[in-house]
Copies of this chain bind each other. A is one copy, B any other.
Amino acid sequence: MSIRIGIVGYGNLGRGVETAIRLQPDMELVGVFTRRDPAQVATGGAAVFALDSLADRRDDIDVLVLCGGSKSDLPEQTPELAARFTVVDSYDNHGQIPQHFAAVDAAARAAGTTAVISTGWDPGLFSINRLYGEAILAQGETYTFWGRGLSQGHSDALRRVPGVAGAVQYTIPAEHAIERVRAGEQPELTTREKHDRQCFVVLEDGADAEQVREAIVTMPDYFAPYDTTVTFITAEELARDHTGMPHGGFVIRSGASSPGTTQTIEYRLQLDSNPEFTASVLVAYARAAARLAAAGDHGAKTPFDIAPGLLSPKSAAELRAELL
């Protein structure tokens, strides 16, 4: 029997969930639920309904995948919808996770639903790797590097520089820092030492390239503390080569199991599309949520609470025979 999924919110993430569900053998998409006028939402084929109509759909939907933002949507939506549905979200405001967990847990327990929060890759797969790393190599250091990835905030900062017509910024893990970590040095590294900044900039007509470059590389906080490169490109190149949303990064645990014996665990993501990958993780956790709910295991859960096998469409016996 298929797992029946509803998508709440239809931006890049919701669109990615729609695509990801099609690749899964055991899922069926009921539709997209939106606060916008459904007639104005063009999907990749999914039916579109008003968010308010969810009230009538409790018996048609096994799991809602919540695709709103962490800033204002999810803190309200996840507890509210967990009071009626089994849900999965990608809440990624690390500092507020305990509060979010508590609010969602109370709603889900009262309602007898299961709510998986903070899935995706960070929080999510990166978190799991931080946990496995420090549990296994009890003595050591954990390093998280982000990138190569498009940074929206830094791209916006570039666009505010006088003389800039258009720009994107990629955060790049600093290769020399990664090499030191891989070599088992266990260096102390700040976020700044771990990342370089790569800027692609289209100049306004008549703008002075050197002045613009100087304004960028000396910008406090955003660029001055980093190894920053600025490459000038044409508007055509910007449109052709820089519309994707790549991201990724590394989690590296470097530890010593005995004096002088270095052990290194490295987890790396290289993503052509950040939202499509996050969506793919959400969908796998939707399967786990449906199973936990069916087993009566209610309340809020995070990826730390969910056994790997629950994510796979295969049975436990198949997994032991094929993948162990």
Contacts and interface: CB of A to CB of B under 8 A. Distances in A.
Interface string A135-156: 1111100000000000000000
A304 B304 contact: no
Counting contact residues on chain A (CB < 8 A from B), the size range is 35 or more
B312 A134 contact: yes
Nearest to A267: B267
Interface in A275-324: 276-277, 279-281, 284, 287, 302-309, 311-313, 316-317, 319-321, 323-324
- Number of this chain's copies in the assembly equals 2
A273 B302 contact: no
Interface in A117-135: 118, 123, 125, 127-128, 130-132, 134-135
Contact of A277 (B123, B263, B317): B263
Interface stretch (A19-27, A46-54, A169-177, A215-223): A19-27
B130 A323 contact: yes
B280 A136 contact: yes
Given A257-B276, A263-B277, A309 B305 contact: yes
A131 B262 contact: no
Contacts of A269: 263-266
A100 to B, nearest CB: 9
Given A264-B269, A324-B304, A258 B276 contact: yes
A242 interface: no
B304 A308 contact: yes
A125 to B, nearest CB: 7
A279 B263 CA distance: 12
Given A19-B257, A324-B118, A276 B304 contact: no
Contacts of A192: none
Contact of A280 (B128, B137, B276, B309): B137
B258 A19 contact: yes
A176 B275 CA distance: 30
